[in-house]
Amino acid sequence: MAAKLLEGKEIAGKIKNEVKKEVEKFKEEGIEVSLHAVMIGDNPGSRVYARNQKKSAEEVGIVYHLHELPESQTQEEVIKFIEELNRDEKVNGIILQVPVPSHMNAREIQMSISPDKDAEGMNPYNIGLLIYGKGKLVPCTAKAAKTLLEATGLPLKGLEVTVVGHSEIVGKPLTLMLLESLFESPTPTVCHIATRDLSFHTKRADVLIVAVGKPGLIKGEMIKEGAVVIDIGINRVPVLDDKGNPVLNEKGRKKMKIVGDVVFEEAEKKASFITPVPGGVGPVTTAILLRNTLEAVKLQKRGK
Ligand code: NAD
């Protein structure tokens, strides 16, 4: 039986509608909600992200500013710039576009973002709140994966959830979020590069969540019949023809497509629910970023 598709667009649309209503209320109070992105140097990938963020922010009435800083800046200069944004009352949310140039440390820069303006939820204070199940500004992708899982309507209590990938931005915060409830939590297992027998853990998962960045890592045979599969991976791979040769575009370059970490065609035959890539976790992540910005305004203006 083919799996049900967990479409991100629909869920993202609902979150955005809620955010839009509250942004309008703030507007009536004379408060214009704003999100500020800081990009250092020119990175084509970051530019695409920024363009999409701007479009989504504007859809819900959030004003989006992209600050482009030259690559020649020192880390101290970038931090100083962020501290100015921290002090500016008109700035509600701040995000750092990654990657940053090699002479800088993205984590240290992110840590300079004020906890109540931390739209990506990556400040140690906000990550720390997750331990207590009290996260307000939460890591967007981790929250997006949890939101998609909740959209299945399955009671999570006691389920075996295997999270593949233990990065600070996805796997670790997601695991903390899965343990939010004292009595109703599932049982998470976290796998990573040093896990000895990955398929042992994936095969017994009622819910399999994958955030690695390796196309084809999770094959159909590694998935339990009826499992929920949430694929966070984003990988650019060449489009191949029937003989396995790369298809070229009009300019003679390899035609590329985006895939996840899971072999979708195999997984959809075994899973009960599955997220598509693209169109699954991605749109929800952006919607959570907007909701975090709204939460940030509430923290700044109302202290809650
Ligand atoms: P990362 O490189 O920081 O972490 C990768 C994780 O995968 C590590 O924990 C590592 O131990 C684990 N890993 C590597 N090889 C493995 C293997 N063979 N078996 C098991 N575990 C293995 O990556 P990240 O920033 O967490 O991102 C992971 C993926 O999620 C990437 O493809 C990224 O593009 C994607 N991503 C998507 C969104 C979204 O909005 N959809 C957002 C962030 C990241």
Residue whose CB lies within 8 A of the most ligand 1 atoms, among 98, 212, 231, 232, for a mutation test: 212
Q: What mean pLDDT do residues 95-116 have?
A: 96
pLDDT in tens, 115-155: 999 999 999 999 999 999 999 999 999 999 999 999 999 99
Residue whose CB lies within 8 A of the most ligand 1 atoms, among 98, 232, 258, for a mutation test: 232
Q: Is the pLDDT reported for residue 275 higher than 90?
A: yes
If you take atom 17 of ligand 1, which residue's CA is the nearest one? 193
Closest ligand 1 atom to 194 CA: 11
What percent of the chain has a predicted confidence (pLDDT) above 90? Answer: 96
What's the number of domains the chain is made of? 2
Closest ligand 1 atom to 280 CA: 41
The CA distance from 93 to 134, in Å, is 19
- Clarify whether residues 124 and 173 are in a common domain: no
CB 79 within 8 A of CB 109: yes
- Clarify whether residues 165 and 278 are in a common domain: yes
Name the nearest CA neighbour of 170 among 232, 218, 119: 232
- Clarify whether residues 147 and 250 are in a common domain: yes
Residue 200 Cα to ligand 1 midpoint, Å, equals 19
Closest ligand 1 atom to 170 CA: 26
* 3 domain-assigned: no
Q: Are strands 4-5 and 273-274 parallel, antiparallel or unpaired?
A: parallel
Residues forming a β-bridge with 267: none
What percent of the chain has a predicted confidence (pLDDT) above 70? Answer: 99
Residue 41 Cα to ligand 1 midpoint, Å, equals 24
Of residues 64 and 301, more confidence is placed in: 64
The CATH number covering residue 208 comes to 3.40.50.720
pLDDT in tens, 243-258: 999 999 999 999 999 9
pTM of the complete model beyond 0.85: yes
Per-residue pLDDT band for 45 (boundaries 50, 70, 90) equals: confident
Residues with CB under 6 A from ligand 1: 141, 164-167, 169-171, 191-193, 195, 198, 211-214, 217, 232-235, 281-282, 285
Closest ligand 1 atom to 261 CA: 32
The last residue of a domain, from among 129, 164, 182: 129
- Clarify whether residues 144 and 235 are in a common domain: yes
Alpha helix (H) residue ranges in the chain: 8-28, 44-59, 75-87, 106-111, 124-131, 140-150, 171-178, 198-203, 264-270, 281-302
